[in-house]
Structure 1
Amino acid sequence: MRFFKAVLLAALISVGAAAQAHNYHMGLTDISFNPRTGSTEIVHTYTAHDVEALLMNLYQRNFDLGLEEDQAVFRRYLEKQFSISANGKRLPIQWVGMEAKADSIVVYQEIEKTPLPASATLHDAVLSDFMPTQVNTVNVAGFGRPAQTLVFTAQKK
């Protein structure tokens, strides 16, 4: 009986720890210039669980982000929530692809044959419309100016 209580206590502690383990919601975006192609490359990384929870909330069904048709749903969402503008006009960000890993979703985009203008304005509301505690960090480097790190939240998009 004592052993059973110890096992039960250990199980309850680990379940509680698992519930507490994912209380920080974050996304990371790296924007850089590729001098070989002349294009601006954008790589987004999000927690798979958060993306799946968002899609489940929006569409009330499970998604397999390894499937192209389910990736297309997330693509439409991401393209609404993330944009780059210059001189009041949205820049044409091309979708390159997406990798769905067990713990993360990685999205590849580019602005073909265009360096990021110094006057560019970023809008990043990915997942922060769904999770108010979402923090999106954007690193911008390689455009002939010092690297910058920008932080976006539900209050600062």
Structure 2
Amino acid sequence: MIFSNYIIGLIWVLSGFHPFHVSITELIYKEESKSVQVMHKVFVDDFEQTLNKNYNVNLDILVMTSTEAIDSLVEDYLKRNFSVEINGKKQDIVYLGSELEDNVLWCYQEIYKVRKPEVFTVTNSIMFDEFDDQSNLVHTTVKDKLKTMRLMERNKTDVVRFN
């Protein structure tokens, strides 16, 4: 029995199928530019499925030579499913673009004119509309201090403090 579970697990890993649904978002405060860089890392197959369903399209992101063709969809989706308040003030988040790296899509955003960030309130419901088990990890870094939150469908919003 243990051996058969091992074989099934090995086949699962080798097939490229990932057993859970997760995204990783990084918010990094850049003191010199008074900005917060935002980077989302999502599995292409999951995000593609989500965009196809939400926008009634039939994307095949992995065959694209550039992600420019989907940037308007990605920008709109992030605008509807990701927000940040800093020190109690809702932030304008500027979409910069996206790029493919193997089976991962990186999406880039930036928040400008940020001074003395102490409290981050992050709402991240990316792919909750598609996957019941979706988990979104959010890493926030200010002055080399890293704080992490795990957001799930039942708690889409959380707070980290740097004061």
For the aligned residue pairs, the C-alpha RMSD in angstroms reads 2.7
Q: CA distance change for structure 1 residues 95 and 116 in 2, over 3 Å: closer, same or farther?
A: farther
- 1:36 CA drift (Å): 2.7
Calculate percent identity across the aligned residue pairs.
24
Secondary structure at 1:61 match in 2: coil
Tell me the amino acid that sits aligned with residue 51 of structure 1: F
What CA distance in whole angstroms lies between the structure 2 residues aligned with 1:117 and 1:63?
Answer: 38
**Residue in 2 that maps onto 1:77:** 77
- 1:154 CA drift (Å): 1.1
- 1:113 CA drift (Å): 2.7
| Higher strand fraction (1 or 2) | 2
What CA distance in whole angstroms lies between the structure 2 residues aligned with 1:102 and 1:20?
Answer: 11
**Residue in 1 that maps onto 2:126:** 126
Unaligned runs of 5+ in 2: 1-8, 157-163
1:156 aligns with 2:152: no
Q: CA distance change for structure 1 residues 96 and 17 in 2, over 3 Å: closer, same or farther?
A: closer
Secondary structure at 2:119 match in 1: coil
Deviates more, 1:34-43 or 1:60-69: 60-69
Tell me the amino acid that sits aligned with residue 45 of structure 1: K
The 8 Å contact of residues 64 and 70 in structure 1, kept in 2 or not, is answered as no
* Number of aligned residues: 145
Identify the match of residue 26 of structure 2 among 26, 30, 51.
30
Deviates more, 1:100-109 or 1:38-47: 100-109
Secondary structure at 1:51 match in 2: helix
The 8 Å contact of residues 87 and 118 in structure 2, kept in 1 or not, is answered as no
Q: TM-score, normalised by structure 1?
A: 0.78
**Residue in 2 that maps onto 1:114:** 114
1:41 aligns with 2:40: no
Tell me the amino acid that sits aligned with residue 150 of structure 1: M
